[in-house]
Amino acid sequence: MAATFDVNCELRGHEGAVRCISALPNDLLLTGAMDSVARVWLRDSSAPFGGFVAMDSATIFDHEHWVTASVALGGGGFATGSMDKNIRLFDAQGQRYALLRGHEGGVISLATSTDGKLLLSGSWDGTARVWSLETLQCLHVLSGHENGVCVLGLPDGSLVTGSTGQQVGNTVADFKLRFWAKETFALTKTLADHQGPIRQLALVPDIGFVSCSNDGSIKLRTLDGAVVASMEHPLNAEGKPGFVLGVAVLSNGFLVSASEDCTARVWSPVGALLQTVEHPGGLWCVTALPNGDFATGCDDKAVRVFTHDAARVDPDAVASFQAAVEEARIAKTRGPSGVEVEALPDYDQRAIVNGNSDGQIQMFRRGAKAWACQWSGPSRTWIDIGEVTGTGGGGVVDGEAYDMVIPVEIELPGGLKKLEIGYNQGQNPFTVAQEFIDKHMLDQAYLREIADYITQRAGEYRPPVLGNDDSVNSAQTGTVSSEPVTAGSHYKYFPVSGYNTFETTKISKLMSTLHQFNDKLKETNEAATLSDSQLIALGQIVHTVQDTAFYHSSKFTPLEVATLKSALEKWPAKFAFPALDLLRLVLVLRRVKMSSL
């Protein structure tokens, strides 16, 4: 029995690692990523190789954090789960019709019951939830899990869940499968045969289901959990297996595993390795397509579709893919750049390092490599993101990891003072500059100059790869030089005959930032805060802006415009940036009279 899969197409558009993929009816593909965006792609049957293409007006900016789970629903709809703790339901036209709240941690797994009546969700809050897709109410909360939970509905109506384990000293332990009875959802059985966090579960027709784990294994099971076959990813140079983060079951019975070791591996139904497909970066997910193909989601922000049909293999896509893989191999030999690995805290000692806030990114030393983790406040544990390689100036300031660390010299009356600015791509340079000034109690006159300097350096940035133990994406290894910023500096004036328009922003983050700033103002300037009704009005503006179906027809109400104006007038300048971003998008829509502002 042989398997030969090659590239059908490569899908680019996400600005973050691709975390979830779901096949939808009518030759559609749904993807979600660490850019807080979900995208829908359409198979172009008229194209020479029948690959997928981006759909017009099918980009969903509705999420306030990473999109980490997805599942197809009946009638062509779908659901997404996000690290913002919410589940969103969309109809076949991509319009959101429900927001399910209740989880206290990021939603990392979604599934449906086999009869399609129930939605199942798993979260970093240590619970699974059962929702009615008819009433949109939570019917049951299945608690007692060890941190992150993956979920699966079995054919008889019962459920199975897997957990990622809990910190015990310097190790992670207690990775368990749990079985829950039909209708009552009472716990009926627990299994603990994985040696690492359990990451995903998938049904296997006529056999049972399959589980995959950070222990590098994929276990094929009967419906009661008995292991029929066990498949193992090979050990890396450190003697450890690559984390297997995703598994899919193809229509011919083959299994495909996706690992942070930069490989997708195809297995026979009896557990024989048939093919290894090396990727340029670590893999987060894999899904089976109805025609026997499969799609992978990678750290390099790409979705790739692989086919077993030689007539649908695109030679250009194959050549591009092979070049990217080779470039990653070369980059691996260079090792990490810009990160002082030895100075980082030990990965195996991370249990004694507490994060400062939910969502904080921290780098640890894992062997000879820098490894990025994110702090989960509800579970009080570090969530693996991946290896940091080819950082191009990334590093740590005051214990926190940043895309760029920009050294600056501030000229003060007593002489030059050398400082560092931590900057993440997508941040507002003025916000970062203001926080830097406040932190070091510098003269406010530096604001414009520091912000311009950050903007200049950000333009030189090439992103890091947060991948795995065995491969990296290519990145330049140049350093960010230090240049003095002086109070007496001045700029030449260059007349510009035209102008630039800024018609996009990270809409998904606007409301969370507005809420954050409003909460800060409650502590220092109560009179400037917005009421709950005003925040709702701003939320409606955000909804109108990001809802592509109404983008050119909806108008803003007088209350919404008045609320936005109030925020601009009442809030201090250092908190005004999200309101200004929202105003910019409102004006682009041309659905409000300038006189009303």
Res. 366 pLDDT band, cuts 50 70 90: confident
Res. 330 pLDDT band, cuts 50 70 90: confident
Residue 389: pLDDT above 90?
A: no
360 and 403, same domain (yes or no): yes
165 and 217, same domain (yes or no): yes
Structure tokens at 111: 């599934």
Confirm whether 494 is domain-assigned: no
413 vs 37, residue with greater confidence: 37
369 and 517, same domain (yes or no): no
Confirm whether 328 is domain-assigned: yes
Domain residue limits at 32: 6-332
522 and 440, same domain (yes or no): no
What pLDDT is attached to residue 168?
66
378 vs 498, residue with greater confidence: 378
What DSSP letter does each residue of 188-225 carry, written as one string?
Answer: EEEE---SS-EEEEEEETTTEEEEEETTSEEEEEETT-
Calpha distance 379→104 (Å, rounded): 9
439 and 571, same domain (yes or no): no
What pLDDT is attached to residue 184?
93
Supply the CATH number for residue 378's domain.
Answer: 3.10.20.870
328 and 358, same domain (yes or no): no
Q: Point out the domain boundary residue: 434, 450, 485.
A: 485
Residue 529: pLDDT above 80?
A: yes
User: How many other CB atoms sit within 10 Å of the CB of residue 159?
Assistant: 24
Q: What average pLDDT does the segment 262-273 reach?
A: 94
Residue 332: pLDDT above 70?
A: no
Residue 61's Cβ-side half-sphere holds a number of Cα atoms within 13 Å equal to 20
Confirm whether 132 is domain-assigned: yes
**Residue ranges of the alpha helices (H) in 502-576?**
507-524, 532-546, 558-570
Structure tokens at 192: 């603990």
63-72, 169-178, 312-321, 528-537: the lowest-pLDDT one = 169-178
64 and 180, same domain (yes or no): yes
Calpha distance 350→258 (Å, rounded): 25
Confirm whether 491 is domain-assigned: no
30-44, 185-199, 208-222, 537-551: the lowest-pLDDT one = 537-551
What pLDDT is attached to residue 462?
47
Residue 176: pLDDT above 90?
A: yes
Confirm whether 179 is domain-assigned: yes
Residue 100: pLDDT above 70?
A: yes
Q: What average pLDDT does the segment 311-326 reach?
A: 94
Residue 485: pLDDT above 60?
A: no
Residue 133: pLDDT above 90?
A: yes
Residue 183: pLDDT above 80?
A: yes
What pLDDT is attached to residue 487?
32
| Mean pLDDT of all residues belonging to the chain | 81
Share of the chain above pLDDT 90, in %: 43
Q: 7-44 pLDDT, tens per residue?
A: 999 999 998 899 999 999 999 999 999 889 999 999 98
Number of domains making up the chain:
3
Structure tokens at 276: 């290894």
pTM: 0.62
What pLDDT is attached to residue 391?
43
Res. 231 pLDDT band, cuts 50 70 90: very high
Confirm whether 490 is domain-assigned: no
521 and 459, same domain (yes or no): no
Q: Point out the domain boundary residue: 308, 332, 356.
A: 332
355 and 218, same domain (yes or no): no
Most confident of 116-130, 322-336, 358-372, 397-411: 116-130
Q: Point out the domain boundary residue: 314, 332, 350.
A: 332
Q: Are 119 and 87 in contact (CB under 8 A)?
A: yes
User: What end-to-end distance do the CA atoms of the chain give, in Å?
Assistant: 69
What pLDDT is attached to residue 452?
73
DSSP 3-state assignment of 273? Answer: strand
191 and 48, same domain (yes or no): yes
What pLDDT is attached to residue 169?
59
Confirm whether 496 is domain-assigned: no
Q: What average pLDDT does the segment 52-59 reach?
A: 81
Confirm whether 502 is domain-assigned: no
User: How many other CB atoms sit within 10 Å of the CB of residue 214?
Assistant: 24
Q: Phi and psi of 566, rounded to 5°?
A: -65, -40
Res. 223 pLDDT band, cuts 50 70 90: very high
